[in-house]
């Protein structure tokens, strides 16, 4: 049922988009979905209160009050805030927006509604993106979009409504990321990668931090993991940072619709130069930083205390991200990071020395090689780094080669199934020696536990294929032999075409009386 809702919504919304760029249209759709959700949850709470205020056996019973008194009591904001429901002023409620959907000023009305919601809910101050009045949509399209989102049925149960809308919201984020290509993929990490990070880290309680949180997918999956393992929403404290102001707003809305409390800093900002959580030491860190950023450096970062293992090169931020996260990790904490494959073996501009220092300090716990085509924005494969300051298995690193474990879900994209994710997480748990896990064993071509001395012999290169028995690979995960085969085939094709052209020229010149 939910899959049908998602597909129908996407197909209709995409049709309404007309010639508008997906990057722009996304914010119109997701903003309205957010307003619909908070309005629906407000209405559900109001209906519940209306019944309870009249029930003599209920703690909220309001005596023999008149209907007018009941209506006034229903406007008490504390009733809503005590159950983590946003207060929605009357002109901003969905029924008011829907009633005005066909009016020519519907864009301004939505912007005004967003301003009212922000004013009543300090947590949302500066978060909602008021761009509807200036949206470049053909006449009537915005009203049609309002009508479309009005069709989402969430039921009256608050937890069910939250789950349904959360799934719709996540689905739209993913579809927009796919439609936008590279730009969308910059802030959207595919679900199977997030699930893998969370399953291996196993965050149960404490502080969870993402220094480049994008649209907040890491946090959402962490909460799901906790609830699936018997925990409760709120067992973790969420801390994040995001430089892109629009994406920062998306993250806040993504978390807010699920009732997740969060701290994304006072404002969007660059994590390196405007660190929003300088004193934070987190229990768990999950991150997918943008790969190979070359313009990250600022003079103020010279001698920064975060560079504990060496100064990161000014032309690539990969080792700045790794060290930033280690700096913000509690002594007992764990971090999981997605990085470009080059970080596992690069020796340029001090990167090799930093990696060696990290390995020798025994803070690298697990390395996982990923297949290509997992991301929306690149087919170049990445890897997962898991870091810990107090490893359960000291003096060793677990290498897992998961490049062959994905399944294709489209012509250009693949994913890990839940079974594969469970296998990977189970392998790590067994290696760590966790209580409920099976005994760990090396599996040729898949996983191997390697002592630090052997890693040093390999120049501190951390590519799993080098250790588990798979083919040796270069940084972009394409085998040298395969590259040479493709190059030879391409040259052969070009030579064959050249020979055909040469024969054709000779044939035509012969007809003109020129001999050879």
**340 beta partners:** 382
Q: Tally the domains of the chain.
A: 3
In a domain, 96, yes or no: yes
Q: Which of 311, 341, 362 has the alpha carbon at shortest distance from 461?
A: 341
In this predicted structure, what is the pLDDT of residue 91?
92
In this predicted structure, what is the pLDDT of residue 502?
65
In a domain, 473, yes or no: no
Residue bearing the bigger pLDDT, 293 or 307: 307
Q: Are residues 389 and 456 in the same domain?
A: yes
Element housing 397 (H / E)? strand 396-401
In a domain, 423, yes or no: yes
In a domain, 475, yes or no: no
- Per DSSP bridges, beta strands 262-263 and 236-240 are parallel
Task: Work out the angle at residue 328's Cα, subtended by the Cα atoms of residues 326 and 329, and round it to the nearest 5 degrees.
Answer: 65
Band (65; pLDDT cuts 50, 70, 90):
confident
| Mean of the per-residue pLDDT values of the chain | 83
Arithmetic mean of pLDDT, 250-278:
87
Mark which of 131, 165, 180 sits at the end of a domain: 180
Per the structure block, which two tokens stand in for 464? 């799993």
Band (364; pLDDT cuts 50, 70, 90):
very high
3-state secondary structure at position 248: helix
Share of the chain above pLDDT 70, in %: 80
Give the span between the Cα atoms of 167 and 2, in whole angstroms. 8
3-state secondary structure at position 385: strand
Q: Are residues 200 and 118 in the same domain?
A: no
Which tens digit of pLDDT belongs to each residue from 71-82?
889 989 999 888
In a domain, 474, yes or no: no
Q: Are residues 427 and 507 in the same domain?
A: no
Q: In Å, what is the CA distance from 109 to each residue of 100, 103, 112, 449?
A: 8, 9, 5, 61
In a domain, 510, yes or no: yes
Give the span between the Cα atoms of 344 and 73, in whole angstroms. 61
Mark which of 161, 180, 199 sits at the end of a domain: 180
Long-range Cβ pairs for the range 440-447 (8 Å, 24+): 442/468, 443/468, 444/468, 444/469, 445/401, 445/469, 445/470, 446/400, 446/401, 447/398, 447/399, 447/400, 447/401
**387 beta partners:** 335, 364
Q: Are residues 202 and 162 in the same domain?
A: no
Arithmetic mean of pLDDT, 20-38:
78
Give the span between the Cα atoms of 390 and 328, in whole angstroms. 14
Give the span between the Cα atoms of 450 and 442, in whole angstroms. 10
Per mean pLDDT, which range of 56-60, 228-232, 482-486 is the poorest?
482-486
Do residues 259 and 281 make contact, with C-beta atoms less than 8 angstroms apart?
A: no
In this predicted structure, what is the pLDDT of residue 499?
60
- Per DSSP bridges, beta strands 236-240 and 206-210 are parallel
Q: Are residues 242 and 148 in the same domain?
A: no
- Position 188 pLDDT exceeds 60: no
B/e letters for 390-423, b = 16+ CB within 10 Å, e = fewer, are ebebeebbbbbbbbebbeeeeeebbbbeeebbeb
Q: Are residues 204 and 138 in the same domain?
A: no
In this predicted structure, what is the pLDDT of residue 478?
44
3-state secondary structure at position 234: coil
Q: Are residues 390 and 403 in the same domain?
A: yes
- Position 472 pLDDT exceeds 60: no
Domain that holds residue 189: 184-468
Q: Are residues 198 and 172 in the same domain?
A: no
In this predicted structure, what is the pLDDT of residue 210?
93
- Per DSSP bridges, beta strands 329-340 and 382-388 are antiparallel
The CATH number of residue 307's host domain is 3.40.50.150
Q: Are residues 272 and 418 in the same domain?
A: yes
Query: Residue 197 — φ and ψ, nearest 5°?
Result: -55, -50
- Helix (H), strand (E), coil (C) string for 132-149: CCCCCCCCCHHHHHHHHH
Give the span between the Cα atoms of 209 and 287, in whole angstroms. 8
Do residues 286 and 253 make contact, with C-beta atoms less than 8 angstroms apart?
A: no
Q: Are residues 30 and 67 in the same domain?
A: yes
Q: Are residues 99 and 143 in the same domain?
A: yes
Arithmetic mean of pLDDT, 243-265:
82
- Residue 289 CB-half CA count within 13 A: 30
Share of the chain above pLDDT 90, in %: 41
In this predicted structure, what is the pLDDT of residue 411?
78
Which tens digit of pLDDT belongs to each residue from 275-292?
999 999 999 999 989 888
**383 beta partners:** 339, 369
In a domain, 479, yes or no: no
In a domain, 478, yes or no: no
Element housing 338 (H / E)? strand 329-340
Q: Are residues 417 and 501 in the same domain?
A: no
Give the span between the Cα atoms of 38 and 152, in whole angstroms. 13
pTM above 0.85, yes or no: no
Do residues 181 and 16 make contact, with C-beta atoms less than 8 angstroms apart?
A: no
- Per DSSP bridges, beta strands 262-263 and 329-340 are unpaired
In this predicted structure, what is the pLDDT of residue 479?
45
The CATH number of residue 90's host domain is 1.20.1260.30
Q: Which residues contact 367 (CB under 8 A, 6 or more apart)?
A: 344, 383, 384, 385, 386, 397, 398, 399, 400, 462, 463, 464
Q: In Å, what is the CA distance from 40 to each residue of 77, 95, 154, 161, 261?
A: 16, 10, 8, 8, 19
Element housing 382 (H / E)? strand 382-388
Give the span between the Cα atoms of 483 and 489, in whole angstroms. 10
């Amino acid at each position: 049922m939910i899959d049908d809702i998602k597909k129908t919504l996407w197909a209709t919304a995409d049709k309404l988009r007309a010639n508008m760029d997906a990057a722009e249209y996304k914010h119109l759709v997701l903003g309205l979905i957010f307003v619909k959700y908070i309005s629906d949850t407000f209405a559900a709470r109001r209906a519940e209160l209306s019944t309870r205020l009249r029930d003599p056996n209920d703690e909220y019973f309001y005596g023999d009050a008149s209907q007018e008194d009941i209506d006034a009591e229903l406007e008490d904001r504390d009733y809503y805030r005590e159950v983590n429901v946003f207060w929605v002023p009357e002109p901003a409620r969905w029924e008011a927006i829907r009633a005005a959907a066909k009016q020519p000023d519907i864009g301004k009305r939505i912007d005004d509604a967003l301003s009212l919601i922000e004013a009543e809910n300090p947590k949302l101050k500066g978060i909602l993106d008021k761009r509807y009045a200036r949206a470049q949509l053909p006449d009537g399209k915005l009203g049609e979009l309002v009508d479309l989102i009005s069709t989402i049925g969430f039921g009256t149960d608050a937890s069910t409504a939250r789950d349904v809308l959360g799934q719709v919201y996540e689905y739209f984020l993913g579809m927009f990321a796919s439609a936008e290509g590279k730009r969308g993929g910059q802030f959207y990490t595919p679900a199977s990668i997030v699930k893998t990070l969370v399953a291996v880290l196993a965050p149960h309680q404490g502080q969870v931090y993402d220094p480049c949180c994008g649209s907040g997918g890491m946090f959402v999956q962490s909460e799901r993991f906790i609830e699936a393992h018997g925990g409760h929403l709120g067992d973790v404290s969420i801390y994040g940072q995001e430089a892109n102001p629009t994406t920062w707003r998306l993250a806040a809305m993504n978390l807010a619709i699920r009732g997740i409390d969060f701290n994304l800093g006072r404002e969007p900002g660059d994590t390196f130069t405007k660190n929003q959580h300088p004193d934070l030491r987190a229990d768990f860190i999950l991150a997918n930083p943008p790969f190979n950023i070359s313009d990250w450096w600022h003079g103020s970062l010279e001698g920064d205390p975060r560079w504990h293992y060496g100064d990161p090169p000014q032309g690539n931020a990969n080792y700045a991200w790794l060290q930033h996260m280690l700096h913000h990790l509690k002594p007992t904490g764990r971090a999981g990071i997605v990085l470009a494959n080059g970080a596992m073996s690069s020796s340029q501009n001090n990167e090799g020395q930093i990696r060696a220092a990290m390995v020798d300090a025994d803070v690298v716990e697990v390395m996982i090689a990923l297949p290509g085509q997992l991301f929306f924005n690149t087919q170049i494969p990445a890897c997962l780094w898991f870091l810990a300051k107090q490893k359960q298995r000291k003096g060793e690193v677990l290498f897992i080669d998961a490049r062959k474990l994905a399944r294709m879900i489209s012509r250009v994209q693949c994913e890990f199934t839940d079974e594969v994710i469970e296998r990977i997480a189970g392998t790590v748990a067994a290696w760590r020696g966790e209580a409920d896990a099976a005994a760990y064993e090396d599996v040729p071509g898949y996983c191997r536990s390697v002592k630090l001395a052997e890693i040093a012999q390999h120049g501190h290169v951390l590519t799993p294929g080098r250790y588990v028995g798979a083919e040796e690979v270069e940084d972009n995960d394409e085998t040298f032999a395969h590259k040479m085969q493709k190059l030879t085939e391409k040259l052969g094709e070009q030579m064959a075409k050249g020979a055909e052209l040469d024969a054709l020229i000779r044939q035509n010149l012969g007809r003109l009386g020129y001999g050879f």
